[in-house]
Amino acid sequence: MTSTDIKKILIVDNEEATATMMISFLQEAGYYCKAASTPKLAIEILKNNHFDLVISDMRLEGMDGLELIREIHRRFSSVDTIIMSGFPGVYSYSDVIKAGAVDFIQKPVSFQELQAKIVRVDQEHKIFRKLKEANKKNRLALAEMTKVNELLTLEIAERGQMQAELTNAHKEIEAFLYSIPCILIEISTDGTIKRWNTLAENILRVKELEALGKNIYECPISWETEKVNEHIAQCATEGVSKRLNEVRFTSSQGMDGLLDLIINPVTDVGAKSSSLIILGTDITEYKLMERQLVQSQKLESIGQLAAGISHEINTPAQYVGDNTRFLETAFANLEKVHLLYDRLLEDHRAGRPIEPLIQTIGAAEEEIDFSFIRREIPEAIRQSLEGIERISRIVLSMKEFSHPGTDEKTGIDINRAIRNTITVAKNEWKYVAEVATDFDLELPPVHCLVGEFNQVILNMIINASHAIADKVEAGTAQKGTIEVSTRRDGDFVEIRIRDDGSGIREDIRSKIFDPFFTTKDVGKGTGQGLAISHTVIVKKHGGTIDFESKLGEGTTFIIRLPI
């Protein structure tokens, strides 16, 4: 386990299996864990034992997770809390944070993600604790200075000694501040740089002596200057904290990286902002891990499709095998007749009577059903070739769908990508729907992040099949239809995915692209599919995603991508 101050964790969850798995994982990671099945039991445990962190489910007996979090913060203010829920749509992320939780995690829990959140919370609290300790030392130093001034006339002889002590205390504070493992910059409200620690030097490529006294709005810092300066100005004007996520910067090695920045106003006795503190954390490695998590989620989707794909391959493979065995038997029977024909030819050349052998050949042909074999062999060969072609098509589709792609957009054949995705998802839709395609064959290549585009189409096809399945299970329809079409519209390509499923209710249409919102039963949906699709199409590709729906008649999703 990495060096951490979070050592004792209390799990509050009425699902014993979930709590047991979490405790097992966290104990393997080096944490001491205990479980409580009810809020009442959790409060009793916290009365008698100190815990650094409480991870609570949202739905509990007697009170919900937010009420428990508020009670914990009221009674045990030093305990941090994380909310987890399989029903995130009831509360917003803002509700969770306002209640006092430091973070939120979706159930079923990804243990790697959970550990990453615990480590992140621990690191942030170390930073703020160090700042708090530094502030406390400052106050103590100031109090000592006040005392010295009051006693100065009586203790003039001790002034030199006290001055030396103050100087040492100041050096200790400076050393302490400069040892904080994050960027620490202090500026006046007009932007003059007053403090610039070693990590700021190393990450932002500006030496302390070059930065001190210079205006931060004019300092050549290798980050997104316009965005950062705008938030600094807002913090100075409004006197409230500002947070910037994923600020791009260029490292000393010339590599691109990402920073999370927090800009806090420092208030004096008159409650006026006297300066601003900028704290920065290099999250480049964290974002790389996040990208790996996205890829693992894609592999998870592939794993979920694997059983269906193996079934799709097994069927043609089975009749290829059956036909091959038939050809093996037919060849052996034909070989017997062929040997008789060889004897017939020899007897005819030797002038021996051939009538008896002709009768034998006729009997042999009748025994092996010669006419049936001649009729069925071409059909068996045709079916075998068709089966092999079908297997090849499925394997090729899966290969192209699962290709990790690159971080850069590349020109792709949209129609081919959609066709491959439909093929690999066949086992998801074939029992409830037929799929019809209407592709514009004149479409030019479209620049996309191929892996993420495939994931969007997969989400749409699976959602359409689930919508139709709900209607079929309700007994209102037999098999439904999923129609996928593409066309060019000016400088855009338009993709329409229509189903004749149950449609989307009017009261939830404004929420369907919200993270964690789902109408599916527990275990069937995470509420991430459409949210991820919206992010990929709108934010990463500069396109649009919208829908048209009629309750009971179906839904059409419309994706527009710039060519």
Q: What is the CATH number of the domain that holds 66?
A: 3.40.50.2300
Select from 345, 365, 395 the last residue of a domain. 395
Looking at the fold, whether 462 and 559 belong to one and the same domain comes out as yes
d(CA 139, CA 136): 5
pLDDT digits (tens, 9 = 90+) for 355-383: 888 888 888 888 888 888 888 888 778 77
Span 72-111, pLDDT tens digits: 888 888 888 888 887 666 677 788 888 888 888 888 878 8
Say whether both 31 and 133 belong to one domain: no
Last residue of a domain, one of 395, 428, 443: 395
Work out whether the CA dihedral 381, 385, 386, 387 comes out positive or negative: positive
Nearest to 402 by CA among 419, 424, 418, 422: 424
Nearest CA to 383 out of 426, 327, 431, 334 is that of 327
Cβ contacts of 443 within 8 Å, gap of 6 or more: 413, 414, 415, 486, 487, 488, 493
- Judge whether 204 and 278 are in contact, CB under 8 Å: no
Task: Give the whole-angstrom CA distance, residue 545 versus residue 162.
Answer: 69
Is residue 136 a part of any domain in this protein?
yes
Asked whether residue 413 falls in the same domain as residue 389, the answer is no
As a whole number, mean pLDDT of residues 35-60 equals: 88
Give pLDDT tens digits for 144-184.
Answer: 777 766 776 666 666 666 667 666 665 666 666 666 678 88
Residue of 33, 66, 35 lying closest to 52 (CA atoms): 33
Instruction: Tell me: do 190 and 308 sit in the same domain.
Output: no
Residue 548 has pLDDT above 70, yes or no: yes
Query: Domain check: are 370 and 226 in the same one?
Result: no
Residues 382-427: tens digit of each pLDDT = 777 776 777 776 666 566 565 555 567 788 899 988 988 888 778 7
- Does residue 127 belong to any structural domain of this protein? yes
Query: Same structural domain for residues 267 and 316?
Result: no
User: Do 411 and 323 have their domain in common?
Assistant: no
Q: Which range of residues forms the domain containing residue 233? A: 121-282
The pLDDT confidence band at residue 487, using thresholds 50, 70 and 90, is: very high
Q: Residue 143 gets which letter from DSSP?
A: H
Both 99 and 169 in one domain: the answer is no
Q: Please tell me whether residues 295 and 410 are part of one structural domain.
A: no
pLDDT band at 293; cut points 50, 70, 90: low
Out of 89, 109, 129, pick the residue that ends a domain: 109
pLDDT for res 310: 65
Contact in structure between 263 and 278 (CB atoms under 8 Å): yes
Exposed, middle or buried, 352 (CB in 10 Å: 0-12/13-18/19+)? Answer: exposed
Residue scoring higher pLDDT (380 or 57): 57
- In the block, which residue shows the tokens 């059983």? 307
Q: Report if residue 364 sits inside a domain.
A: yes
CATH of residue 132's domain is 3.30.450.20
pLDDT tens for residues 262-283? 888 887 655 555 788 888 888 8
Instruction: Count the Cβ atoms, other than its own, within 10 Å of residue 229.
Output: 17
Q: Is the confidence at residue 525, as pLDDT, over 60?
A: no
Give CA torsion, residues 139, 140, 142, 144, to 10 deg: 160
User: What is the rounded distance in angstroms from the CA atom of residue 53 to the CA atom of residue 534?
Assistant: 34
Query: Which two three-digit tokens encode residue 524?
Result: 């069937």
User: What is the number of domains present in the chain?
Assistant: 4
Q: What is the pLDDT of residue 456?
A: 86
Q: Is the pLDDT of residue 208 over 50?
A: yes
Asked whether residue 88 is domain-assigned, the answer is: yes
The SS3 of residue 469 is helix
Residue 2 in any domain: the answer is no
Interatomic CA distance for residues 457 and 425, integer angstroms: 10
Within-domain flag for 520: yes
Which phi-psi region, left, alpha or beta, contains residue 191 (left: φ > 0; alpha: ψ -120 to 50)?
left
In this structure, the answer to whether residues 231 and 299 fall within a common structural domain is no
SS3 per residue for 90-135:
HCCHHHHHHCCCCEEEECCCCHHHHHHHHHHHHHHHHHHHHHHHHH
414 lies in some domain: yes
**Three-class SS state of 86:** coil
Residues 454 and 431 reside in one and the same domain = yes
Does residue 353 carry a pLDDT above 60?
yes
pTM for the structure as a whole = 0.43
User: Residues 403, 290, 303, CA angle at the centre, nearest 5°?
Assistant: 45
List strands edge to edge, sheet with 183-188. 193-196, 183-188, 273-282, 256-267, 242-250
Same domain, 416 and 514: yes
Judged against a pLDDT cut of 50, whether residue 5 lies above it is answered with yes
The distance in angstroms from the start CA to the end CA of the chain is 48
Look up the CATH number of the domain holding residue 498: 3.30.565.10
Per residue in 314-333, pLDDT tens? Answer: 667 776 777 788 788 888 88
Do the beta carbons of residue 228 and residue 246 sit within 8 Å? no
- d(CA 114, CA 106) in angstroms, rounded, equals 9
Give the model's confidence band at 527: pLDDT under 50 very low, under 70 low, under 90 confident, else very high.
very low
- 377 in a domain, yes or no? yes
